[in-house]
Chains A and B, each alone.
Chain A
Amino acid sequence: MSSTIPGWWSKGRAILWTVAVLLVAGSLYAAFARAPVEAQMGVVQKIVYIHVPSATVTLLAFGLTFAASIAFLATRAWMWDAVAASSCEVGMVFATIVLVSGPLWARSAWNTWWTWEPRLTTFLILWLLYGGYHVVRASIAGGAKRTVSAVLGVVLFVNLPIVWKSVEWWRGSLHPRAVTMTGEMRTVLTLSMLAWVVFFAAAFQERLRLEAMRKAAESGGAPEAPR
């Protein structure tokens, strides 16, 4: 735990950010300039190229928090706690994007900003719970912080399958189980997914780097490489 942040990370960081920004810019251009305008909803349908990838990244981020929390409980290595907390924090940003872009879509598609349908409700619960994760984590000082956070990272994961399966388990869901798209729309959606996943990776490593620096500052040494 004594090595400083390695040089390859700093170089790789710049490359990752460049790729992420280019991909996001490319996906936005493709979504607004290349993808066909949907016949019924018009230009509002293009929200799907941000909304769906953000939702996917949210589940990915909270899934990573769950996996890293289990790894922390098994190994007690600080790196897994840093991964869990970093992933959860970036995941919250994407979850917020989902909750903002959803009503914009809903207003046009369902003629209401909000409706208590299963996926909207379960996703809001998910957002509240992971918000609670950060509040509780920030409230604890000392050695218990990592353990309590890891336990929460495991316990709160229970909600992810509920969000995922809510459209199948409960009647009255307005979210479609499957989306019918033209080939070009599907290509743009795939590109958007890739772009936002890479953007998540870039933001996540930035947050992880901050954790490494914070740990170094706490121990009074040079920044450590997470391992």
Chain B
Amino acid sequence: MTALRVLAKDLRLHARDARFIATLSLFSLSLVLILSVAFGPFFRDPAREASATLWAALFFAGVLGLTRALDLESESGGGEALRLTGADPFAIYAGKTIANFLLMAVLFVLLLPCTSIFFDVGNLAVLPTVAGVAALALIGYAAWGTLFAALARGLKARELLLSILLFPTLIPLWIGAVKLTRSLWADGTIEPVRDWVKIMVVIDVLGLALAAWLYEVIQEAEE
């Protein structure tokens, strides 16, 4: 229940801040545009270039979303109040992770058709599997991102520090998402790169397990 309440609170915060969501969407679309111009106008391997663009734009833009909810909490003292309720730290983490996952999912829904159109790749037949790949990638991104965002809370230049830690950690997840999406768009199947599904699942589970162990310690450090 606590996780759902935290989720509802974070989603409400995002919903009230429509200007930020609009800015984030424009920023991620700009990234797709810049990368498609860099690769184009004649694409050598459109499926590969499109999948790399899609996931690079999502991962870069996501960092801004990760810190936003924490910033809003810090400004209003909500984070401190949340800790004082004595709620289970992992439940708080879970609520925030699901909120970050949903925020990233919204960005994904926005960027996927734009990338498909700009690079002329993808079809409806592989869409469910692409969505499955996205779920795997975004669960890992949200799990690790929320953990690192909590670590970087209160630091100066936290977006930079978060990027320094988050991007290298998530490189295997990013490679997996790119390879699987490319395979789906180019060949219509993930069979040649199926091993990456296992790697992505391991990264997702590892992020959640480490958070279950360490999130309470991080909260204590903030007190």
* Partner-B contacts on A (CB < 8 A): 73, 121, 125, 128-129, 131-132, 135-136, 139-140, 143-144, 147-148, 150-152, 154-156, 158-159, 162
Contact = CB atoms under 8 A, between A and B. Distances in A.
Chain B's interface: helix, strand, loop or mixed, by majority?
helix
Interface in B99-158: 147, 151-152, 154-157
Interface of A is mostly: helix
Contacts, number: 59
Given A136-B155, A152-B151, A129 B169 contact: yes
Contacts of B165: 129, 132, 136, 152
Contacts of B164: 128, 131-132, 135-136
A137 B152 CA distance: 10
B168 A139 contact: no
Interface residues of B, number: 22
Given A128-B168, A132-B161, A147 B220 contact: yes
A147 B217 contact: yes
Nearest to B152: A136
A151 B156 contact: no
Interface of B: 147, 151-152, 154-157, 161, 164-165, 168-169, 171-172, 206, 210, 214, 217-218, 220-222
Given A147-B217, A152-B165, A155-B147, A162 B152 contact: no
Contact of A158 (B155, B157, B206, B221): B206
Nearest to B156: A139
9 contacts: A121-B171, A125-B169, A132-B161, A136-B161, A144-B222, A151-B218, A155-B147, A158-B210, A159-B169
B168 A147 contact: no
Contacts of A128: 164, 168
A132 B161 CA distance: 7
Which residue, of A128, A131, A156, has the highest number of chain B Cβ atoms within 10 A?
A128
A148 B218 contact: yes
